[in-house]
Amino acid sequence: MIKVALIGAGKMGISHLSILGAHPDVEIVGVADTSKMVNDVLEKYSGFKTFTDYKKMLDAVKPDAVFVAIPTKFHADFVEELLNRNIHLFVEKPFCLKVEQSEKLSAIAKEKKLINQVGYHNKFIGTFEEVKRIVSGGHIGNIQHFLGEAYGPVVLKKKQDTWRSDPEEGGGCLMDYASHVIDLLNHIVAPINTVHGSLLKPIYSNKVEDAVYALLETETNISGVLSVNWSEETYRKMSTSITVIGSEGKIISDASELRVYFKSAKCPTGYSKGWNVKYVTDLTEQVDFYLRGEEYSAQIDYFIKAIKGEVPNNKNTFESAAKTDKVISLIKNKKNNA
Amino acid sequence: MERILFGDNQFFAVNHISDEKSRAQSIKFKEDKTILDTIDIARGLGTETFMCTTHDRIINICEMVRQDPEKYKNFSIFPCMPYAHKYANAVTELGIVGTIQQYVPGNFFGTMFKGGLAVMSKDYISIMELMVDAEMKMFKKINTPVIFLQNVVTDLLLGLGMKDILKAYHDYVIKKYNVEPGFITMNMPKLLAMLESVGIQNPIICSSINKAGFRMSGGMEIYEKTLREKQVRAIAMQVLGGGAIPAKDALEYVCNLPNVSSILFGASSKQNIAQTISLIHEFDEKNNFKI
C-alpha cells in the first residue's frame, strides 16, 4: 500500500481524495486543510486524520506521497519542503507562479529521483492522446498552424472577490482555463517559446482577466492562436478543443470527438483518406473507479503506478509543467501588447 | 417503477460524444414548450415517468404540468439532484464554503459559520437536508415516487467512504417525502456493497449498463455478476454506450439481464422514442418479463 496524504481539501483536493479513497493500492494517511469545517466533516464521516498544519501532518503520518491542491501561490514553498522530505508529489495545476520556481523544483525532483506529476488531466483523455499520436507520427505532415480553445461558464456575473479573482494568488482565466490549453499545445505540437501578442480581457471580474487571446509560436517555428474565455454561458461546462493544420491533413478535436482529414491514403491504420471521426468512447480505457471523467481517475492511477515502478514517470512531469508556466509568464509579459 | 423511463439529457445539451450535437440540441430545445411536447410524445407511447436533473429549466416544465392536472394525472417525475454543474462552477469561483453559503437556504449556515460556533454532526446532516428541500421546491404538487442523488455526489461520497451521509440521505427522503430514495452512480457494484453495509436493502440504483461496457467501472463482468447474485433494483442508463452500439443490440443486451427493473433512455425525435419503446417491449415479450 502507498501511504498518501492530501494538502488542500478544496474542489480538486476532495475530488482527488475520493478517487484515492477508492484506489486499491492507496492508504489515505492524512489530510491537511485550513478549514476547520472541512477537516471536521472528513474526520467524522471518512475517518481521516486531519491537520491544520501540513508540517505537523508530515511528521505524524510520514506519507510516501502527497497530493498538493492549494492555491498556486503556495505551491513553491510547500513543494520544496515536501521534496526535501523525499516525498513523491502530485501537484495541482498550474505548477508555480514564477518559472524560476518551477524549474528549480523540477531539478530537485529529478535529482532526488522522486515521482513528480502535475494535474493536467487532458493528457489522459483518449481523443487528445490520439491527436498526439497522429501528430507525432507525422501523419498530417509538417504542422503549419494550430488553434487552442477553451470556453466555459465559470464567471457569469460580477461577484465577491476570492483568491480566484486575485492575480497575485494565481487567479484568473489565464492560470485556470488557459493553462490547460497551453499545456496541451506544448505536448501535442511543440513547446511554445514566443508570444507575439496577447489580450487579457476582464468581462465581469475586477482584477483578473475572464478571457485570454494570444498569438503564439513554438520553438519549431509553428504559429498558433490561443482563444480562451471562462465567461461563456453558451457552454454547459468547460470545453477544450485543439485544431492542428498540417501539410497532409488537419485535426479538430475536443475531449469527446476527434475529427481528422487526411489528404491522401497515407494515413494510420483505422483511418482513410478524407474525413474520419472517432469518439472518446472508442479511445478510452475503462477505469476501476469513476468520479467525474475517466481522465481524473487515470492520472491518479498513473501516478500511483509510477511510484510502484510499473510505468515511467514521464507524463505531466514538473519539467513539462514548468514549460507551461513559462508560456503563461510570456503571455502576461505581452499583456495588451505592453 | 415503470419499465421504461424517459430521460432529459437531450434537452439540456448533454451528449457524451459530441459537442456539436449538444449545440444542436440546445437550439432545438430552446423553448420549454418543445421539451414538454417531447415528454408528451413519450407519454403518448405509454412512458409516463420523466427522470430529470434539477436543472433550472425544469422549474418551468413543472409549472406547465401543474397548470393541466387532468392531462398529467398519471405523470411522474423522478428528480435527480443536484444539478452538479451549477455547484461545480460555483465551487470553482466561490470555494466550498462560499458555495454552501450561496445555496443553502436561509442564513442558518451563514450565521453559524460567521459566529464560529462548533458544528455538530447533526448540523451537517441538516445542511444536506436543507439542500434536498431547496432542490425539491420546484416539484411541489407533482408526483415524485423516487428521488435520486446524482452520480457526482453519490460517487464522491462513495470514494470518501461517507456511508453515513448516503444513509442519512436515504432515510431523509423516506421520512420527509415518503417516497423511495434512489442513487445514480458510475460504480454500481461498489455502491451496492456500501449501501448494504449500512443496512440499506434492495436499493434503487441507476447506472451505466450497456453492451460496450462504457462507464461500467471495474468492468462488465463484475456488473453482470452483481446483477445475477445481489438484491438490487437496477435502472440501466447509457444503454447505447454513448452511441457506440446499434439500438437493437443495445436493448437486447439490457433486456436480457436479470434484476434490471427499468431502462432509462432519452431521445429527441418521435421516431427514435417510438423505436426504443417498441424494441424494449419486443424483447420483454420474448423474455416474458414481468415487473
Residue of B53, B121, B208, B217 to mutate, testing the A interface (most A Cβ within 10 Å of its Cβ): B217
Nearest to B159 by CA among A287, A150, A312, A317: A287
Nearest to A308 by CA among A58, A118, A20, A115: A115
Tell me the one-letter amino acid at A206.
N
pLDDT of residue A237: 84
pLDDT of residue A167: 66
Placement of cell 423474455 in the chain: B287
Contacts for B26 with CB less than 8 Å, ≥ 6 apart: A234, B13
Nearest to B62 by CA among B31, B72, A145, A265: B72
- Angstrom distances, CA of residue B228 to CA of B196, B206, B259, B290: 16, 16, 7, 16
The answer to whether residue A75 scores a pLDDT higher than 90 is yes
pLDDT of residue B21: 78
Placement of cell 435502472 in the chain: B235
Which string of DSSP letters, residue by residue, matches A266-315? ---TT--SEEEEEEHHHH----SS-SS-HHHHHHHHHHHHHHTTSS-S-S
- Spatial contact of B4 and B263, defined as CB atoms under 8 Å apart: yes
- B198 reaches A (C-beta below 8 A): no
**Residues in chain A within 8 Å Cβ distance of B15:** 256
Give bridge partners of residue A228 from the DSSP assignment.
A150, A212
Instruction: List the single residue in B94, B161, B164 with the smallest CB-CB distance to A21.
Output: B161
Surface-to-core class of residue A333, CB atoms within 10 Å of its CB (0-12 exposed, 13-18 middle, 19+ buried):
exposed
Whole-angstrom distance, CA of residue B24 vs CA of residue B5: 23
Contacts for B98 with CB less than 8 Å, ≥ 6 apart: A160, A162, B90
Whole-angstrom distance, CA of residue A184 vs CA of residue A320: 10
Instruction: List the single residue in B17, B96, B187 with the smallest CB-CB distance to A281.
Output: B17
Residue of A238, A281, A287, A292 to mutate, testing the B interface (most B Cβ within 10 Å of its Cβ): A281
- A291 reaches B (C-beta below 8 A): yes
**Residues in chain A within 8 Å Cβ distance of B155:** 18, 289-292
Surface-to-core class of residue A28, CB atoms within 10 Å of its CB (0-12 exposed, 13-18 middle, 19+ buried):
buried
Question: Which cell numbers hold the place of A117?
Answer: 506529476
Give the residue ranges of chain B where pLDDT is below 70: 16-17, 89, 92-93, 104-122, 291
Task: Compare all CA atoms of chain B with the CA of A153 and give the residue at the minimum distance.
Answer: B89
Question: pLDDT tens across A102-129, in order?
Answer: 999 999 999 999 999 999 999 999 999 9
User: In terms of CATH architecture, what is A126-279?
Assistant: 2-Layer Sandwich (3.30)
> β-strands A116-118, A88-91: how paired?
parallel
Residue of B9, B96, B223 to mutate, testing the A interface (most A Cβ within 10 Å of its Cβ): B96
Whole-angstrom distance, CA of residue A249 vs CA of residue A137: 13
Question: Which cell numbers hold the place of B227?
Answer: 446483477
- Spatial contact of B262 and B180, defined as CB atoms under 8 Å apart: no
- Spatial contact of A131 and A124, defined as CB atoms under 8 Å apart: no
What's the mean pLDDT in A278-307? 94
> Quick one: DSSP state of residue B183?
E
CA angle A81, A86, A90 (to 5 degrees): 75
Query: Are A257 and B214 inside 8 Å of each other by CB?
Result: no
Residue of B53, B85, B93 to mutate, testing the A interface (most A Cβ within 10 Å of its Cβ): B93
**Residues in chain A within 8 Å Cβ distance of B245:** none
Neighbours of A159 (CB within 10 A): 16
pLDDT of residue B123: 78
Angle between the A99-111 and A318-333 helix axes, to the nearest 10 degrees?
Answer: 170
Which value does ipTM take for this structure? Answer: 0.92
- B29 reaches A (C-beta below 8 A): no
List phi, psi (to 5°) of B205.
-130, 125
pLDDT of residue B107: 52
The answer to whether residue A161 scores a pLDDT higher than 80 is no
Asked if CATH classification 3.20.20.100 holds for the domain at B4-287, the reply, yes or no, is yes
What's the mean pLDDT in A163-178? 78
Query: Are A236 and B14 inside 8 Å of each other by CB?
Result: yes
Which residues of chain A form CATH 3.40.50.720?
2-120
Query: Are A45 and B164 inside 8 Å of each other by CB?
Result: yes
Whole-angstrom distance, CA of residue B250 vs CA of residue B183: 23
Question: pLDDT tens across A44-57, in order?
Answer: 999 999 999 999 99
Question: pLDDT tens across A225-238, in order?
Answer: 999 999 998 888 89
- A66 reaches B (C-beta below 8 A): no
- Spatial contact of A230 and A210, defined as CB atoms under 8 Å apart: yes
Query: Are A21 and B160 inside 8 Å of each other by CB?
Result: yes
pLDDT of residue B115: 42
Whole-angstrom distance, CA of residue B220 vs CA of residue B269: 30
- Spatial contact of A231 and A203, defined as CB atoms under 8 Å apart: yes
Enter the pTM of the model.
0.93
- Spatial contact of B186 and A19, defined as CB atoms under 8 Å apart: no
The CA distance from B92 to the nearest CA of chain A, in Å, is 7
SS3 A6: strand
Whole-angstrom distance, CA of residue B124 vs CA of residue B100: 11
pLDDT of residue A28: 98
- A204 reaches B (C-beta below 8 A): no
SS3 A5: strand
pLDDT of residue B119: 55
Size of interface A-B (CB pairs under 8 A): 134
* Residue % of chain A over a pLDDT of 70: 96
E-state strands within chain A: 2-7, 26-32, 50-51, 65-68, 88-91, 116-118, 143-151, 192-201, 211-218, 223-229, 239-246, 249-254, 257-262, 274-279
pLDDT of residue B98: 72
Domain extents for chain B? 4-287
- B12 reaches A (C-beta below 8 A): yes
Whole-angstrom distance, CA of residue A12 vs CA of residue B122: 26
pLDDT of residue A338: 58
Q: Which CATH number fits domain A2-120: 3.10.450.50, 3.40.50.150, 3.40.50.720, 3.40.50.10600?
A: 3.40.50.720
pLDDT of residue A311: 98
- Spatial contact of B192 and B230, defined as CB atoms under 8 Å apart: yes
Query: Are A155 and B93 inside 8 Å of each other by CB?
Result: yes
> Quick one: DSSP state of residue A153?
B
The CA distance from A19 to the nearest CA of chain B, in Å, is 6
Query: Are B96 and A291 inside 8 Å of each other by CB?
Result: no
- B18 reaches A (C-beta below 8 A): yes
- Spatial contact of A65 and A4, defined as CB atoms under 8 Å apart: yes
- A154 reaches B (C-beta below 8 A): yes
Instruction: Identify the band that residue A171 occupies on the pLDDT scale cut at 50, 70 and 90.
Output: confident
Angle between the B32-44 and B57-66 helix axes, to the nearest 10 degrees?
Answer: 60
List phi, psi (to 5°) of A142.
-75, 130
Half-sphere exposure for B73 (CA within 13 Å, toward CB): 2
- Spatial contact of B16 and B276, defined as CB atoms under 8 Å apart: no
Instruction: Identify the band that residue A37 occupies on the pLDDT scale cut at 50, 70 and 90.
Output: confident
- A45 reaches B (C-beta below 8 A): yes
